[in-house]
Amino acid sequence: MFKIEKADRIKELPPYLFATIDKMKAEQIAKGVDVIDLSIGDPDIPTPPNIIAKMKKTVEDKKNHRYPSYEGMLEFRRAVSNWYKRRFNVYLDPVTEVLSLIGSKEGIAHIPLAFVNPGDIVLVPSPGYPVYSIGTKFAGGTPYFMPLLRDNNFLPDLEKVPEDVARRSKLLFVNYPNNPTAAVADTDFFRDLIGFAKKYNIIICHDAPYTEVYYNADKPISFLEVDGAKEVGMEFHSLSKTYNMTGWRIGFAVGNANVLEGLGQIKTNIDSGLFQAIQEAGIEALEGDQSPVEEMRRTYLERRDALINGLMEVGLKPEVPKASFYLWVPVPDGHTSTTFCAHLLNKAGIVTTPGSGFGEAGEGYIRMALTVSKDRIIEGVERLKKVGI
């Protein structure tokens, strides 16, 4: 009998967190439950109309119908460079220090293939985006998890990384503003990170898709703003969250030219370039009217405050985020993150994400995303009041 057997790397993977949540949600919908989905960070706000208009125009241009370059159109990379200069006062050479990506997830998953040999260690935050560790395992590397704890403002304590682990490490992933904790990092942390990277010869990979979702005058900073950052690492960014373009799959990597060259070699061999019409729409996003971004921040602020106030009324004590569109909420006594998520889904029809799904250090929390309307958030709060926690 013919037998299909998956590779060990697939067999050893846990079920992908968000696919599991989708299945749970579908089961409730099939039962007729009106589900309020606060689980996955997929913005419900539509892509700004000027970006859509640009896409409609450029998709008809026959020059965009052929294979695109792997590294991305120079015009798009210039737009990225100009945006970084305006937003962070960071200069990037658009030729060597900017690389287009089919969404930042692609780059995050592929960069270990460029730098990690079997047996090498990659330092990964816990809780953290699952792709950091999955990409590491696919490259034959070993993730070493750095716990993000409330006592340390959800920053990794670099001094607690064992010396022998640090010396065997090739990459270190960080992510600020953070998913799932919503924590932010400051210049002092990034300065310490750069010193750590130089001491142990570790490439820093900063995942920064949420820098433009913030709630006060203190804008989140780029890792590349700090002296020495470009010597030791790079930054992933995306148009998904800033311009509500998650389905468009457009992102970029910036920073150290040698690091980007390695990532580019992986793309050349196993990936492809980004559809040029989307890159032209990306140029419009970066260089066009920015008022929709301001409106987006006001919308998330209203939702954030409505959900925080409601959660506090029912006895929960969420962290108040300065950035990102997530709330990191401690679970009540008597629950694990998984049992509390199940309670909210089965009793109130509210879908959330268990903190344990982001890593061992995420146990004791759930994540809620502000990606439904304020009215739906208020309705969710009313359901919570009725069923209790």
Alpha helices in the chain (DSSP H): 8-11, 17-30, 49-58, 74-88, 104-115, 131-138, 163-167, 187-200, 229-232, 257-270, 276-287, 291-313, 337-348, 374-387
Residue-level pLDDT at 156 = 98
Instruction: Break the chain into its structural domains and give their ranges.
Output: 8-46+291-387, 49-287
Instruction: Please give the average per-residue pLDDT across 297-303, as a whole number.
Output: 97
- Asked if pLDDT for residue 91 goes beyond 90, the answer is yes
Q: For the whole model, what pTM was predicted?
A: 0.95
Question: Phi then psi for 262, rounded to 5 degrees?
Answer: -65, -45
Residue 352, pLDDT above cutoff 70: yes
Taking the C-alpha atoms of residue 389 and residue 312, their distance in angstroms, rounded to an integer, is 11
CATH topology of domain 49-287: Aspartate Aminotransferase; domain 2 (3.40.640)
**Hey, what are 92's tokens?**
């990037």
Average confidence score pLDDT of the chain = 95
pLDDT tens per residue, range 262-281: 999 999 999 889 999 999 99
The domain 8-46+291-387: what is its CATH number? Answer: 3.90.1150.10
Whole-number pLDDT of residue 18:
67
SS3 74: helix
Binning pLDDT at 50, 70 and 90, where does residue 12 land? confident
pLDDT at residue 70, rounded to an integer: 84
How confident is residue 218, by pLDDT bands cut at 50, 70 and 90? confident
327 Cβ contact partners less than 8 Å away, ≥ 6 residues apart:
182, 304, 307, 308, 311, 318, 319, 321, 367, 368, 369, 370
pLDDT exceeds 70 at position 326: yes
Cα–chain center distance at 233:
17
The distance of Cα 73 from the centroid of its chain, to the nearest Å, equals 24
pLDDT reading at 378 higher than 90: yes
Long-range contacts of 259-263 (CB under 8 A, 24+ apart): 259/111, 259/115, 259/203, 259/233, 259/234, 260/96, 260/97, 260/98, 260/99, 260/234, 261/96, 262/111, 262/114, 262/115, 263/99, 263/107, 263/110, 263/111, 263/114
Mean pLDDT (whole number) for 96-103: 96
Distance, CA of 357 to chain centre: 15
Distances (CA, A) of 376 to 34, 175, 342, 349: 11, 29, 19, 12
Q: According to the model, what pLDDT value does residue 23 have?
A: 81
241 by Cβ neighbours in 10 Å (0-12 / 13-18 / 19+) ranks as: buried
The answer to whether 177 touches 324, Cβ cutoff 8 Å, is yes
How far is the first Cα of the chain from the last one, in angstroms, to the nearest whole number?
Answer: 52
Q: What is the pLDDT of residues 35-70, one digit of tens each?
A: 999 998 899 999 999 999 999 999 999 999 998 988
**pLDDT at position 13, please?**
80
Q: Is the pLDDT of residue 16 over 80?
A: no
Model confidence over 117-149: pLDDT tens digits? Answer: 999 999 999 999 999 999 999 999 999 999 999
Percentage of the residues of the chain whose pLDDT score is greater than 70: 99
Collapsed DSSP state (helix, strand, coil) of residue 155: coil
* pLDDT for the residue numbered 206: 98
Average pLDDT over residues 337-357: 92
User: What pLDDT score was predicted for residue 64?
Assistant: 93
